[in-house]
């Protein structure tokens, strides 16, 4: 993928991030707290032998180091806690880390377990490169991720210069060049045959290699190395697709010990919502709906959907709504896994930073939040909105519907006849006593009729509507069915 046109005057600054303890740090949150202080090693199957991939400092103190076989490691340290590597979870964590990097720079490359950032355009936003690097280190440390970095003018240089600690000072161009030339050639990723030829030629550092004439090198080495050299010299670009946040959000937190009450669910839910909001921020959008899955070890999982009448990118509001809805939910006894899923997004509306002077936006936002919280606590069945339909029969002209789902279609052809404010959902039959109408009290007709017909395609309804009142002056909306001549109350003029 080619980079869009940019000012060529400013040289690129590539930052390479390496996470040496990633397999361990993926699994650490799931380790019970009392075991975290014990020696732990992550093992991986290599050529049919389980070998140590990485270990924590407690294990390193026992002499455990990467590439030891599992039996040697256990012989060295009998108490060693051995955990198998979880590649899938590692990839998820890498996606999260790439998302974090994406909030620092729009140019992020995620290639297997390597992350690169191009930060030359981000100096102003973070008030200097050193501040940017410092902030990045803080954010990574907050997520308890160990990272080391390398800085160079191109991705390959950055990777070659990756040291053993996180640098927060940006080296200048000559410093970078100097370091590159002194880098050992054994760090260059090539096959063994080529490494051997380097030795035979007496080439020890990258500087030695680059000092040789290009034509001589091309006779001796394959095109792959020539490409690497061209890339190190900034002559050819490093081709890799840029990282883009995924189209849907799905994240989970596992808790092998199980969560037994709703209060302790809230903490992992908060973490997940914060990740969602980081994702929303990166994509500059708001979500319209989120979905929770609570999965127990045994049995059916429980789902909870939170629909928003507006849109939202604020984790505390989402947490409040989730909490309200959670109160109504019957949960499995012990929950092992919490999944948060969101796939309905809209572009972030303007003025999300509360910069607008007029609070019109704010009242609309308040209304949406009120509907959402009522919805979360009382359930969607408890809420409705009156709707005007294009129909003649009153009970069909005026219906109730779920808020925000329908819009009024009726044209308000102002009827000449008076209309009531209350409608009885089921018309109440009126009795006739001494040739007088009676419903709760004796009623007398004031005016009428207005004939309304409808529903002719099914059972035809023909009604004569009258206005009636009782002795206290309360007014009623009566109708007489022309077919049966029976009287009904259909509304009250409140």
Partner 1 sequence: MPNNIATVLSRQDTWRGHSQRLPRRAITTGHNNLDLLLQGGWPISALTELMPQQPGIGELSLLLPTLKYYADNNQLCVWLDPPYQPYSPRLAAADIALDKLLVVRSKNHAEWLWAAEQSIRSGALLLAWTKQPPPRYADLRKLQLAAADSGNAAFLFSAPSALSAPSPAAMRLELKGMEVNQLLLTVRKQRGVAGGACLQLSLGEANTQRTDLALLPADRHRTYPIQQLNN
By C-beta, is 220 or 436 nearer to partner 1?
436
Residue 287's closest CA among 268, 265, 328, 315? 315
- 360 burial (CB, 10 Å; 0-12 / 13-18 / 19+) is exposed
Q: Which of 475, 481, 482, 488 binds partner 1 (CB under 8 A)?
A: 475
Judged by CB under 8 A, the stretch of 191-199, 223-231, 281-289, 387-395 that binds partner 1 is: 387-395
Contact positions with partner 1 (CB under 8 A) in 392-431: 394, 397-400, 403, 407-408, 410, 412, 414-425
Q: Which of 373, 380, 462, 482 binds partner 1 (CB under 8 A)?
A: 373
Exposure letters 311-327 (e unless 16+ CB within 10 A, then b): bbbebebbbebbbbbbe
Is residue 466 part of the contact set for partner 1 (CB under 8 A)? yes
Contact characters 304-323, partner 1, x per CB under 8 A: --------------------
Q: Which of 23, 332, 427, 491 binds partner 1 (CB under 8 A)?
A: 491
Contact characters 433-462, partner 1, x per CB under 8 A: --xxx------xxxxxxx------------
CB 206, CB 185: distance < 8 Å: yes
Judged by CB under 8 A, the stretch of 172-180, 264-272, 279-287, 463-471 that binds partner 1 is: 463-471
Angle 258-260-264 from CA coordinates, rounded to 5°: 95
363: tokens are 């009242």
**Which SS3 state, helix, strand or coil, does residue 337 take?**
strand
Exposure letters 410-444 (e unless 16+ CB within 10 A, then b): eeeeeeeeebbeebbeebeebeeeeeebebeeebe
Q: Which helix (H) or strand (E) holds 459?
A: none
By C-beta, is 331 or 492 nearer to partner 1?
492
Strand partners, 290: 306
Is residue 226 part of the contact set for partner 1 (CB under 8 A)? no
Binding-site size, partner 1 (CB under 8 A): 66
Is residue 351 part of the contact set for partner 1 (CB under 8 A)? no
Minimum distance, C-beta of residue 344 to partner 1, in the bound complex (Å): 21
Distances in whole angstroms, Cα of residue 171 to Cα of each of 129, 341, 407: 10, 42, 61
Is residue 485 part of the contact set for partner 1 (CB under 8 A)? no
Angle 55-61-67 from CA coordinates, rounded to 5°: 40
Start-end of H helices in 35-170: 57-61, 70-76, 87-102, 129-142, 155-160
Judged by CB under 8 A, the stretch of 17-25, 120-128, 291-299, 473-481 that binds partner 1 is: 473-481
Residue 487: Cβ within 10 Å count? 22
**Which SS3 state, helix, strand or coil, does residue 315 take?**
helix
Q: Which of 232, 308, 369, 427 binds partner 1 (CB under 8 A)?
A: 369
Minimum distance, C-beta of residue 270 to partner 1, in the bound complex (Å): 22
Angle 211-214-220 from CA coordinates, rounded to 5°: 105
By C-beta, is 354 or 360 nearer to partner 1?
360
Is residue 329 part of the contact set for partner 1 (CB under 8 A)? no
Judged by CB under 8 A, the stretch of 140-148, 186-194, 338-346, 365-373 that binds partner 1 is: 365-373
Judged by CB under 8 A, the stretch of 114-122, 278-286, 346-354, 361-369 that binds partner 1 is: 361-369
By C-beta, is 197 or 389 nearer to partner 1?
389
Report strand pairing: 40-46 vs 81-84: parallel
The residues that touch partner 1, with contacts defined as CB under 8 A, are 360, 363-364, 366-367, 369-371, 373-374, 377-378, 381-388, 394, 397-400, 403, 407-408, 410, 412, 414-425, 435-437, 444-450, 464, 466-467, 469-470, 472-476, 491-494
């Amino acid at each position: 993928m080619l980079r869009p046109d940019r000012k060529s005057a400013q040289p690129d600054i590539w930052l390479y991030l390496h996470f040496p303890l990633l397999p361990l740090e993926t699994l650490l949150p799931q380790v019970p707290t009392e075991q975290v202080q014990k020696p732990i090693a992550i093992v991986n199957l290599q050529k049919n032998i389980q070998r140590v991939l990485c270990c924590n400092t407690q294990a390193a103190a026992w002499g455990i180091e990467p590439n030891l076989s599992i039996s040697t490691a256990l012989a060295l340290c009998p108490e060693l806690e051995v955990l198998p590597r979880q590649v899938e979870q590692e990839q998820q964590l890498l996606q999260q880390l790439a998302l974090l990097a994406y909030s620092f720079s729009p140019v992020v490359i995620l290639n297997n377990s390597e992350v690169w950032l191009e930060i030359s355009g981000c100096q102003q936003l973070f008030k200097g490169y050193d501040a940017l690097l410092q902030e990045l280190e803080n954010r990574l440390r907050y997520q308890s991720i160990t990272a080391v970095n390398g800085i160079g003018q191109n991705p390959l240089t950055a990777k070659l210069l990756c040291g053993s600690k996180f640098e927060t000072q940006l080296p200048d161009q000559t410093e970078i060049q100097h370091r590159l030339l002194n880098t050992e050639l054994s760090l260059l990723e090539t096959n063994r045959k080529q490494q051997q030829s380097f030795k035979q030629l007496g080439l020890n550092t990258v500087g030695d290699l680059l000092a040789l004439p290009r034509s001589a090198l091309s006779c001796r080495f394959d095109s792959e190395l020539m490409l690497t050299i061209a890339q190190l010299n900034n002559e050819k670009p490093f081709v890799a697709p840029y990282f883009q946040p995924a189209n849907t959000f799905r994240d989970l937190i596992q808790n092998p010990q199980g969560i037994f009450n709703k209060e302790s669910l809230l903490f992992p839910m908060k973490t997940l919502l914060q990740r969602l909001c980081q994702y929303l921020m990166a994509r500059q959008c708001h979500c319209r709906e989120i979905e929770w899955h609570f999965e127990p070890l045994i049995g059916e999982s429980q789902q909870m959907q939170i629909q928003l009448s507006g849109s939202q990118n604020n984790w505390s509001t989402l947490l409040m709504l989730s909490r309200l809805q959670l109160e109504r939910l019957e949960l499995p006894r012990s929950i092992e896994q919490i999944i948060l899923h969101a796939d309905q997004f809209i572009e972030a509306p303007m003025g999300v930073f509360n910069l607008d002077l007029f609070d019109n936006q704010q009242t609309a936002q308040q209304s949406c939040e009120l509907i959402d919280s009522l919805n979360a606590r009382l359930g969607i069945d408890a809420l409705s909105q009156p709707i005007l339909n294009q129909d003649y029969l009153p009970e069909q002209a005026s219906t109730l519907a779920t808020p925000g789902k329908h819009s009024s279609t009726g044209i308000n052809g102002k009827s000449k006849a008076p209309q009531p404010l209350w409608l009885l959902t089921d018309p109440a039959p009126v009795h006739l006593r001494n040739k007088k109408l009676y419903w709760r009290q004796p009623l007398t007709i004031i005016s009428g009729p207005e004939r309304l017909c409808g529903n002719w395609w099914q059972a035809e309804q023909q009604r004569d509507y009258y206005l009636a009142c009782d002795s206290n002056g309360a007014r009623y909306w009566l109708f007489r069915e022309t077919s049966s001549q029976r009287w009904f109350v259909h509304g009250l003029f409140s």
